[in-house]
Amino acid sequence: MAEASRILHTTLIPNFSTPTHKTPCCSPRSLSHPTTSHYYSRRTTTLVRCSISTAGDAARTATAANSTIPWGCDVDSLENASALQKWLSDSGLPPQKMAIERVEVGERGLVALKNIRKGEKLLFLPPSLFITADSDWSCAEAGEVLKRNGVPDWPLLATYLISEASLMKSSRWSNYISALPRQPYSLLYWTRSELDKYLEASQIRERAIERINNVTGTYNDLRLRIFSQYPDLFPEEVFNMETFKWSFGILFSRLVRLPSMDGRVALVPWADMLNHSCEVDTFLDYDKSSKGVVFTTDRPYQPGEQVFISYGKKSNGELLLSYGFVPREGTNPRDSVQLSLSLKKSDKCYKEKFEALRRHGLSASQCYPVQITGWPLELMAYAYLAVSPPSMNGKFDEMAAAASNKTTSKKDIRYPEIEEQALQFILDSCESSISKYSKFIQQSGSMDLDVTSPKQLNRKLFLKQLAVDICTSERRILFRSQYILRRKLRDIRSGELKALNLFDGFRKLFK
């Protein structure tokens, strides 16, 4: 589970000061060949389900190539999970009404041991048992170097996780790290060609590329400014791109933001075994009265039932991006699709419109979220600007301001004289996107996977199924938008036709 920022560049890539001296050696244990992994990938079976479930750990499966991180466990390991549970209990976790078990939705999850009432508080994990940016480092010198250089929380926690993991049993967190997936799976591990091939129709492709670039840039910046300056503290065989993919994958899928602790982010062992359901609204937070991380159930559970929380009001694309799964079509009421709109370069007022957009932090091409229930006011404002004639140039700035979510200006602007053109502009963009989705879904049945290894074949099938699921889900929303837009345009045009017929009738009467 994670509370990951949508745009991570500013948080991940800090403006470090250049180190001027080195600290004494406190070298973590060397690793043989640390390579790929990522978040909690849960599905190592060779079968691919037609619809990926809504589990947090579910669907994070598909073995990621043949390379592995030398720590962690298989995604369905109960042995490591039981060891984690025992360690937490020995360290102060109070008796629980839940236990880690294999589950249908999520591979591993927390299951009720007793009757749980609606409105009951569960977990009570004390701060001493979760990881924050203030946690003590086993290698204190490494932590001091990063903090002295002003490394922000995300890259600091990513480095901390690698540092503690590399110490194996010597780390206080060894039982927790041993229960983390050795081969987590997310869009961080899709190759560029896989993103281009499977997510060509979806805007989530651009966000995945951005996220991969941000993680890569963060690692390169840390390596250049800090790791290379302190090779004894940060040996490259431990702190490398592959281990950073693993650690950032863990953060994206498990880090939570605790509102009652001033929004502090934390890794919360045990609690991060809870899987996601679109049907619940409860979430983790710090409870000041009990002094622990808790959540309040919004439904009762019987013994043997899996207990769920919400990972947030996220679209299917966002869930795929951070957690590596797509809920079944139609089950996520917060689902949305990013609709791309662009000014036409042939527009006589292209330059003026572009300048108006730029003044309000927008570009000539913008994406807006569209839900099954409609679209934001900003999208309509952008459409008005895109179709407005030269005679309305005095309104360009007002339209651009309303199209931006960075302004407090009035957004619900109306221009009845160009409403039909604006709706047609949105419809054209919508139908263009539908065409791309339909083409991919149609071609996916005969897509050449071009692999010979059974493991690779299984992985490719898994990626393709995820892509089909997300495309089907997003196209469904666009189909609904298409229907609404066509109906609105029909009503406008039939109203205009009635007015025209009425005018013709009066004209004939006075002849």
The C-alpha atoms of residue 82 and residue 79 are separated, in whole angstroms, by 5
The C-alpha atoms of residue 230 and residue 506 are separated, in whole angstroms, by 89
323 labelled as ligand-binding?
A: yes
Alpha helices in 326-418 (DSSP H): 350-359, 377-387, 396-403
33 labelled as ligand-binding?
A: no
29 labelled as ligand-binding?
A: no
Q: What is the DSSP string of 252-319?
A: HHH-EEEGGGTTEEEB-TTGGGPEE-TT-----EEETTTTEEEEE-SS-B-TTPBPEE---S--HHHH
272 labelled as ligand-binding?
A: yes
Is the separation of the CB atoms in 96 and 113 below 8 Å? yes
Is the separation of the CB atoms in 114 and 97 below 8 Å? yes
b/e for 374-407, b at 16 or more Cβ within 10 A?
ebbbbbbbbbbbbbbeeebeebbbbbbbbbbeee
The C-alpha atoms of residue 373 and residue 333 are separated, in whole angstroms, by 9
Beta strands in 55-150 (DSSP E): 98-103, 107-112, 121-125
The C-alpha atoms of residue 382 and residue 363 are separated, in whole angstroms, by 11
- The residue type found at 444 is S
Name the strand (E) or helix (H) holding 368: strand 365-371
> What's the DSSP call for residue 24?
P
359 labelled as ligand-binding?
A: no
368 labelled as ligand-binding?
A: no
User: What are the CA-CA distances from residue 346 to residues 353, 387, 393 (Å)?
Assistant: 12, 12, 16
Tokens of 184: 């987590």
311 labelled as ligand-binding?
A: yes
Binding-site residues for substrate, in ranges, read 254, 272, 286, 311, 323
Binding-site residues, in ranges, read 254, 272, 275-276, 286, 311, 323
Binding-site residues for S-adenosyl-L-methionine, in ranges, read 275-276
